[in-house]
Homo-oligomer: A and B are copies of this chain.
Amino acid sequence: MAAVYGTSMRTKLPLVGFILQVSMIILYGVFVRYDKDSDAKYETNTTDHAENEFYFRYPSFQDVHVMVFVGFGFLMTFLQRYGYSSVGFNFMIAGFGIQWAILVQGWVQHFDSNTGTIKVNLESMINADFCSASVLISFGAVLGKTSPVQLLIMTVIEELIFSVNEFVGIYILRVKDAGGSMIIHIFGAYFGLTVTRMLYRKGLEEGHPKEGAVYHSDLFAMIGTLFLWMFWPSFNSAIALHGDDQMRAVMHTYFSLASCVLTTIVISSLLDNHGKLDMVHIQNASLAGGVAVGTCGDMMLSPYGALILGFIAAIISTFGFKYLTPILASKLKIQDTCGVHNLHGLPGIVAGIAGAVVAACASEEVYGFSLYRTFPDLVPSDMNSVEFKRIAQVYQDIKPGQGRTPLLQGGFQALQILVTLGMAIGGGLVTGFILKLPFWGQPPDKNCYEDNVYWEVPGEGEEEEELGSVHQKLGGDGEHA
């Protein structure tokens, strides 16, 4: 059906892209302004430049940036002839997505109604990268089966719903989710799975000749894996509170991911008849520990707690790749190209549960008075209460909170898992419905997982050239070598 409309992007992509980019320029002109750390006017004679948020967060920001553009981009190059699209569409989604995220996160979450503007700063930029990462996770589920126009439309819708869900989590339910395992990973995974379910292709039920890897494409994918793996401590700590909270998020992620690598190797070998390792597992499941520790990373999880989370995540993820993905495809008609359910979905749920449990166990005994800094909603709401005054004697910057018990905080954490699932699936249904319309230039089944639908590919030339040299050796007399 799609083929009737053709896959040419000649008018669609320039048109949609142009409208989006020009809209960005106009909307930024209307809404987006500097905040105090970037506006020259706010700089005073006595400004201590070292206090600029820049110096606390810039290295983490750059690491997150690498994860979004190189990490996600190259992770998806494992397909033998879809490398241009993997890296290129990843680039397009994220490049547009960060612009759009600044707007939607700003509008929904911190719109300054006095001035009618959104203030941007380094934290906005990190959050924009995070929001785009969520779309890239969804992209992994539909990889190889969508046109760039569809991907742009998905980005527009998904980031909007993402921002609403994030608003509910952070400002209404008031949950902790430093590394965004619920808000980014669960959301992106189930959104993408719903979309790919809606875009179900019967013609791919029996697989597709280009769906697998070749030798070098697997090595390119490892570039993505490793940059994700190495910089994940920055991802989980980038917007954590300064000081020990940020340090803990780094340390826990470091330990969880370390544990995840060896465990993935153990399970991958165990599940193969000859004990051989599967690159798909190494590329993906060894990252699950980063997701699993993303919600409670800045809490007092303890180092061995981090090892356990990495251990559990690796087991669930590797089993998922081996057994669950085929079942999802055959029984539920969910064709999940990159297995995002195993890397982001299930480990995200593990993270959400772990976050709820660790928050519920929080106590002054373990945290001291910084309990009220890490969990500001445990602070009593009544400033005149005895309890409030007791805390205020030690922790002077205290502000009234919600007066939650740790258990209640844990309950809200758990609730956010369900809210996120609901929003992701709901949003995915709407998006999938729109993307199913036949005129977006989506590829016919036989051209799925192939760059040459949307890209000028020199590969043809390459094959000819290689052929040339074969020809020649096989009896040719050509002079070119």
Q: What's the nearest-Cβ distance from chain B to residue A203, in Å?
A: 15
Known contacts A98-B258, A259-B25; decide if A59 and B56 are in contact (CB<8 Å).
no
Copies in the complex: 3
User: Is residue A201 contacting chain B, with contact meaning CB distance below 8 A?
Assistant: no
Q: What's the nearest-Cβ distance from chain B to residue A445, in Å?
A: 13
Within the complex, which residue of B28, B53, B244 is in contact with A38, where a contact is CB–CB below 8 Å? B244
Please report the C-alpha to C-alpha distance between residue A26 and residue B458 in the assembled complex, in whole angstroms.
49
Contact between A69 and B259 (Cβ–Cβ < 8 Å)? Answer: no
User: Is residue A255 contacting chain B, with contact meaning CB distance below 8 A?
Assistant: yes
Contact between A254 and B43 (Cβ–Cβ < 8 Å)? Answer: no
Contact between B17 and A455 (Cβ–Cβ < 8 Å)? Answer: no
Contact between B52 and A276 (Cβ–Cβ < 8 Å)? Answer: no
Known contacts A54-B247, A469-B467; decide if A368 and B29 are in contact (CB<8 Å).
no
Residues of B contacting A286 in the complex (Cβ-Cβ under 8 angstroms): 91, 95
In chain A, positions 441-481 with a C-beta closer than 8 Å to chain B are: 454-467, 469-471, 473-474, 480-481
Please report the C-alpha to C-alpha distance between residue A249 and residue B267 in the assembled complex, in whole angstroms.
42
Contact between B277 and A38 (Cβ–Cβ < 8 Å)? Answer: no
Interface stretch among A76-84, A135-143, A382-390, A404-412?
A: A76-84
User: Is residue A189 contacting chain B, with contact meaning CB distance below 8 A?
Assistant: no
Main secondary structure of the interface of A (DSSP, over half): helix
Residues of B contacting A367 in the complex (Cβ-Cβ under 8 angstroms): 40-41
Residues of B contacting A58 in the complex (Cβ-Cβ under 8 angstroms): 59-60, 250
Within the complex, which residue of B9, B91, B467 is in contact with A473, where a contact is CB–CB below 8 Å? B467
Interface stretch among A344-352, A370-378, A431-439?
A: A370-378
Contact between B274 and A41 (Cβ–Cβ < 8 Å)? Answer: no
User: Is residue A42 contacting chain B, with contact meaning CB distance below 8 A?
Assistant: yes
Within the complex, which residue of B24, B122, B230, B465 is in contact with A259, where a contact is CB–CB below 8 Å? B24
List 15 A-B pairs, Cβ < 8 Å. A9-B277, A21-B259, A21-B266, A22-B311, A24-B307, A45-B394, A52-B242, A54-B243, A70-B226, A87-B222, A122-B247, A125-B251, A213-B458, A223-B223, A278-B455
